[in-house]
């Protein structure tokens, strides 16, 4: 969206950052305790860690790049 409002990309960045951080923290806890959910496949790949990290990085990028008040 053009104009002076908060861009949608900022909202997306906020949500991805929160989601990514939560999933990353859970993934690290799962890895360190070795307590994996029953029935889930490929747990040895530690998906929540790298996927959570990826979402966090992407989210932070959007938050910083599209934060309100940032000059274009």
Partner 1 sequence: MFGLLTAPIASGFPGSLPAMLLFNTEPLAHLRSLDVVVICLYFAMVLWIGFYLKGRTNTSEEFFMAGREMTAWIAGLSFVSANLGSLELMGWAGSAYQYGILATHWYWIGAIPAMLFLGLMMMPFYYVCKTHSVPGYLNLRYGEHARSVAAFAFAVEMILMSGVNMFAMAVVMKVVLGWDLNFSIIVSSLAVAAYVGLGGLRSAIFNEVLQFVLIWGGALLVPILGLIQAGGVSGLKTKIMQNLQTMSSTVAPDSYFHLWRDTGTFAANPMGVHWTGIVFGLGFVISFGYWTTDFLVVQRVLAAHNLRAARMAPIIGSFFKMAVPFIVILPGLLGLVLLQNPDGSHRQLVGEDVTAACTRATAGGLENSGACSAAMAKTNLSADVQQKVLSGAPDSELHTYNQALPLMMVRYMGPGLLGLGITALIAGFMSGMAGNVSAFSTVWTYDIYKPLIHKTGSDSHYVMVGRLSIITGVIVSIGAAYLVQQFHGIMDYVQALFSIFVAPLLATILFGMFWKRATRLAGFLGLLTGIIFSASLFMWVKFNPAALATVALSPDAKPMAENVFRALWAFLFTAIVIMVTSAITKPRPVTELEGLVYGATKLPAEEPAPWFKREWTWAIVAVVIFAALNIIFW
Pick between residue 22 and residue 60 the one whose CB is nearest to partner 1: 22
Pick between residue 7 and residue 71 the one whose CB is nearest to partner 1: 7
How crowded is residue 55: how many other Cβ atoms within 10 Å of its Cβ?
20
Pick between residue 2 and residue 71 the one whose CB is nearest to partner 1: 2
Q: How far is the CB of 48 from partner 1 (least distance, A)?
A: 6
Residues that bind partner 1 (CB under 8 A): 1-3, 5-6, 8, 11-12, 14-16, 18-19, 22-23, 26-27, 30, 36-37, 39-43, 45, 47-48, 51-52, 55
Given a contact cutoff of 8 angstroms between Cβ atoms, the answer to whether 19 and 55 are in contact is: yes
| CA–CA distance, 30 with 43 (Å, rounded to integer) | 10
């Amino acid at each position: 969206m053009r104009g002076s409002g908060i861009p949608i990309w900022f909202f997306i960045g906020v949500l991805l950052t929160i989601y990514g951080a939560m999933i990353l923290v859970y993934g690290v806890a799962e890895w360190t305790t070795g307590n994996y959910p029953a029935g889930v496949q490929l747990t040895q790949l530690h998906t929540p860690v790298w996927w959570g990290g990826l979402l966090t990085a992407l989210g932070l990028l959007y938050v910083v790049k599209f934060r309100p008040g940032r000059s274009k």
